[in-house]
């Protein structure tokens, strides 16, 4: 079995289309400029509308956990679930850190986004050491 993939809807379609081009998008508030992830109907800080902004996709590991019991079929036996703090505004994104020994991941490790094609419609944003 393969692991479950995100469902694309009207709100998130631009995000997934950009991901297929290797571009990371983030919701940015039209009013206060706050960046949040994942996308919500309105800015969680001031309830204003938001637009998709391009992120350089670089940051540091904010927090992480090494998962040694896979979440389900299709997941690796061992993987790193992490919160990455992005350099463009300090927003946090839940992701996996890959291409590194899980025991070498540390808080503060510089990382950058790396998209991996999972299906025809979905490329997932993983992070690798920068």
Q: Which residues bind Zn ion (CB under 5 A)?
A: 29, 31-32, 34, 43, 45-46, 48
Burial of 60 (0-12, 13-18, 19+ CB in 10 A): middle
Q: How far is the CB of 86 from Zn ion (least distance, A)?
A: 17
Give 74's DSSP letter.
T
Q: How far is the CB of 53 from Zn ion (least distance, A)?
A: 13
Q: Between residues 20 and 48, which has the closer beta carbon with respect to Zn ion? A: 48
Q: How far is the CB of 56 from Zn ion (least distance, A)?
A: 21
Bridge partners, 65 (sequence order): 81
The neighbour count for residue 24, using CB atoms within 10 Å, is 21
Q: Between residues 43 and 93, which has the closer beta carbon with respect to Zn ion? A: 43
Q: What is the DSSP string of 108-125?
A: T-EEEEEEEE-SSS-EEE
Q: Between residues 67 and 92, which has the closer beta carbon with respect to Zn ion? A: 92
């Amino acid at each position: 079995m393969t692991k479950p993939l995100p469902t694309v809807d009207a709100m998130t379609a631009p995000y997934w289309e950009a991901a297929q081009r290797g571009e990371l998008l983030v919701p940015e508030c039209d009013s206060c400029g706050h960046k949040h992830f994942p996308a919500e109907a309105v800015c969680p800080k001031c309830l204003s509308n938001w637009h998709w902004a391009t992120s350089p996709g670089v940051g540091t590991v904010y927090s992480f956990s090494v998962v040694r019991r896979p979440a389900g079929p299709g997941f690796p036996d061992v993987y790193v679930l992490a919160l990455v703090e992005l350099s463009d505004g300090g927003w946090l994104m839940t992701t996996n850190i890959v291409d590194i020994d899980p025991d070498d991941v540390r808080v503060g490790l510089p990382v950058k986004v790396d998209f991996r094609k999972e299906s025809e419609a979905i490329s997932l944003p993983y992070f690798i050491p920068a």
